[in-house]
Amino acid sequence: MNLPRNLLSLIVSSVLFGVCVSTDLITRESSIGDGDVLISSGGDFALGFFSPGNSSNRYVGLWYNKIPEKTIAWVANRDNPVNGTSGRLGIDKLGNLILYDTKRSISVWGSNLSLSSAVSDCIARLLDSGNLVLFQDGKKSTVLWQSFDHPTDTLLPSMKLGLNRTSGLNIFLTSWKSQDDPRTGTTYFMINPSGFPHLTLYKNQVPLWQPSPYNGVRLNVIPAIGQSSWFNFSIIIDANEAVLLSNVFNSSIYVRGVVQESGIVQLFTWVEKKSEWVTFFTKPEDQCDYYGHCGANGNCHSDSMDQIECNCLPGFTPKSPNDWSMRDSSGGCIRKNQESVCRNGEGFVKVADVKVPDTSVASFDKNKTLRECESECLRNCSCTAYADADFTRGGRGCLMWYGDLMDTREISGGGRDLYVRVDALVLAEFQKKGFLSRKKVLATLIVLVSAAAVISPVVYFVLVKNKRKGSEVGKELDRTTKDQELPLLDITTIKAATDDFASANKLGQGGFGPVYKVRQYFRDGWPVDRK
């Protein structure tokens, strides 16, 4: 190990060249010691030694230079502090960033790159974004290492949080242990890459909160975020990466996201007038935010008074009604009937305006339309639900779930429609409800059974379309029959659709004759053979 000698020369040169650095650069010739600060070129960020809270430990960190309240945005040696003022941050012979404790003669932290041969002319520069970058040469070209790839508890604008599928590097935030102690805590906020990648806040590896995986153009962390005219969040999920990106359009506005050890994630903005950080949001906020509050296949509802109510998704019933009545809904919901949901007349019931369930057990197909999604989900008996994942609506993209549906919650406005697989009985129930009680079914197969039908081989029927909006079932049928208001079907189709006019499928008697529930799905107004 010849590091110490190298370091010694480094230190000597620092002494020779003067130590009170106020540039944005660290080179092999100029290291910084306790008391020195680097300032980014625009003056937004500073880097130097500090002690958090009541601690006397010394850490290398990065803070806002223009803000009176010292706000640490990054810590280099969070798990390995320097005792006293003997720390020096420099670049070693190989080109690595290194924090050296001159008293103990050991390295306490480093960029730790396995650089095969000594890299000449390495420099570290503190950028105005709050990123400390190690460049291979004196110019800004090859990035060897950057602090944005190793964040602590703070998300800064233009930082990417998430997974690089090529390198396998998953960048995430981890809380400090306490205000005085920046050691790696137990709360972290990351992209979970399983199933369809999604952000999750964890505490001790247990999920605490999940934002909507996707809300079209913007990530629905909270609705207000997307509406801000000066910053937005977006999620990029493609073959190369699955990342959260934040963009701030006005660089004179400071925004930071912070993960706290108590198990929350917060977004702050600096308000100059008040000279303080204002909390833009805190999550999880209400009970429904807490992951899986209503258990498997539950749906969490929170009213304007913050009253929480757990419901089961259509076709499901509380697993333990007793616990449920005691407001312990953690047991979740199980299927209501013994009916099979596999090639047994099952279908889907729409649950409108929800945060869709955990996508860890979901697959994503960006090429499928909602209709294609439906038939694919119907075909595969382990598919429990599907949803439109189209970002612009009217285009393509679908999510399909395989297994229990966890962490669904109602969102009024800004949610998505979830289509839950239900057995034939439940399907009939929902269709009947839509037709009989509210008289809002938009399309009903009315079969004319008359004396004439007995004689004539032709059976007339009409699809009556009620234009009024409202029923969820109706809306769904409405879409499928969009372009064909009054199709004429032949008798075999009708017989197939009604199971040969089975009385189980008879919904009631109308002016035209008996009305039957149709077991088949429609495509462009025509029944689709599901065999």
- Residue ranges that bind ligand NAG, judged by CB under 6 A: 53-54, 83-84, 109-110, 112, 164, 166-167, 179-180, 217-218, 232, 234, 240-241, 247, 250, 252-253, 363, 367, 380, 382, 402
- Between the alpha carbon of residue 379 and those of residues 215, 350, 498, the distances in Å are 26, 18, 20
How many of the other CB atoms lie within 10 Å of CB of 303?
A: 10
Least distance to ligand NAG from the beta carbon of 272, Å?
Answer: 7
Compare residues 84 and 525 and give the one whose CB is closer to ligand NAG: 84
112 vs 307 by CB, closer to ligand NAG: 112
Nearer to ligand NAG, 47 or 400 (CB): 400
- Kindly tell me which of 18 and 168 has the beta carbon lying closer to ligand NAG: 168
Q: Is the distance from CB of 429 to CB of 502 less than 8 angstroms? A: no
Round to the nearest angstrom and report the end-to-end CA distance of the chain. Answer: 72
**SS3 (DSSP) at 212:** coil
In the complex, what is the shortest distance from the CB of residue 307 to ligand NAG, in angstroms, rounded to a whole number? 32
Place of tokens 């929902």: 430
Beta-strand runs (E) in 286-346 = 298-302, 308-312, 316-318, 333-335
Write down the least CB distance from residue 9 to ligand NAG, Å.
22
Provide, rounded to whole angstroms, the least separation between the CB of residue 410 and ligand NAG.
23
* Buried-state track 368-394, b at ≥16 Cβ within 10 A, e below 16: bbbbebbbbbbeeeebbbbbbbbeeee
Q: Which is nearer to ligand NAG, 136 or 164 (CB)?
A: 164
CB 258 to ligand NAG: min, Å: 15
Distance, in Å, from the CA atom of 336 to the CA atom of 315, rounded to the nearest integer, reads: 6
Residue 370 phi, psi (nearest 5)? -60, -40
Distance CA 26, CA 150 (A): 19
Q: Where does residue 414 rank: exposed (0-12), middle (13-18), buried (19+ CB within 10 A)?
A: middle
Cβ-based nearer residue to ligand NAG, 240 or 340 = 240
What one-letter code names the amino acid at 212?
Answer: S
Closest CB 112 distance from ligand NAG, rounded Å: 4
- Are the C-beta atoms of 174 and 148 separated by less than 8 Å? no
331 backbone φψ class: left, alpha, beta (φ>0; ψ -120 to 50): alpha
Q: How far is the CB of 515 from ligand NAG (least distance, A)?
A: 35
- Cβ-based nearer residue to ligand NAG, 232 or 311: 232
| Least separation in angstroms between CB 402 and ligand NAG | 5
Strand partners, 74: 62
CB of 165 to ligand NAG, least distance (A): 8
Tokens of 307: 């009253």
User: Considering the complex, what minimum distance in angstroms separates the CB of residue 517 from ligand NAG?
Assistant: 27
Distance, CA of 465 to CA of 445 (rounded, Å): 10
User: How far is 414 from 211, CA to CA, in rounded Å?
Assistant: 12
Q: Which C-beta is closer to ligand NAG: that of 110 or that of 130? A: 110
Nearer to ligand NAG, 356 or 497 (CB): 356
CB of 284 to ligand NAG, least distance (A): 23
| Nearer Cβ to ligand NAG (109/419) | 109
Its sign, for the CA torsion 155, 182, 164, 24, is positive
Q: How many whole angstroms separate alpha carbon 157 and alpha carbon 510?
A: 62
Residue nearest ligand NAG (C-beta atom): 53
Residue 240 or 317: the one with the smaller Cβ distance to ligand NAG is 240
Q: Are 350 and 417 in contact (CB under 8 A)?
A: yes
